[in-house]
Amino acid sequence: MEKVQLDKNFFIPMPVTLIGSMYKGKPNFMAAGWVSRVNANPPQIGIGIHQSHATIEGIEENKTFSICFPNKELLVKADYVGIASAKKTDKSHVFDVFYGNIKTAPMIQEAPLCIECNLVHTYKGPTNTFFIGEIQGVHAEKSLLQDGKISPKAMDYLFLTMPDNNYWSLGESVGKAWSIGKQYKA
């Protein structure tokens, strides 16, 4: 395959998530794609947040946050909370809010899956802060479960690609992980 060099960028497809935190005593949500697994046991997850966002203050103050996964039905609201900042607009009524084990990690009732976290590490980059949280609770819509596991199809996960800035939904499964590789013959 012939290669060309492009401008420096990430090119990693991202999950579309909604980060929940308390901002000035009210629940606040922002859209986020910079989300990653960090440690298997205990389960830790990281989020990269630009230092200009209200969410930074909420997480630093309470040392807690949540990560909810919207489906297609929530796309307009998800994008909206990725445009408006709590610094100028009260977003506390955009979603129905519930709380789990942590009382300062607001989660979204209408989102099919939400994770609540305690902050355990903070990495401050020049423009973005990477917060690592330890998972304290996972709340999934009962109808999404198949044999006790989340069905990705039923979940209706959304993805974000940049720099083209598009939302995508999950396509077809193209192979079984930790399995299809066994077909390889040297």
Ligand X SMILES: Cc1cc2nc3c(=O)[nH]c(=O)nc-3n(C[C@H](O)[C@H](O)[C@H](O)COP(=O)(O)O)c2cc1C
Residues that bind ligand X (CB under 6 A): 16, 28, 30-34, 48-50, 53-55, 79, 82-87, 160
- Residue, CB closest to ligand X: 82
Q: Please check whether residue 38 is in contact with residue 132, taking contact to mean a CB–CB distance below 8 angstroms.
A: yes
Q: Considering the complex, state which of residue 97 and residue 145 has its C-beta at the smaller distance from ligand X.
A: 97
Q: Considering the complex, state which of residue 124 and residue 180 has its C-beta at the smaller distance from ligand X.
A: 124
Question: Minimal distance in Å, beta carbon 103 to ligand X?
Answer: 20
Residues 6+ apart with CB under 8 A from 152: 170
Q: Considering the complex, state which of residue 80 and residue 99 has its C-beta at the smaller distance from ligand X.
A: 80
DSSP state of 173: -
Cα–Cα distance between 44 and 39 in angstroms, integer? 5
Q: Considering the complex, state which of residue 34 and residue 157 has its C-beta at the smaller distance from ligand X.
A: 34
Residue 47 is encoded by which pair of tokens?
A: 């989020």
Residues 6+ apart with CB under 8 A from 87: 54
**Residue 143 CB-half CA count within 13 A:** 6
Question: Minimal distance in Å, beta carbon 183 to ligand X?
Answer: 36
Question: Minimal distance in Å, beta carbon 108 to ligand X?
Answer: 14
Question: Minimal distance in Å, beta carbon 4 to ligand X?
Answer: 27
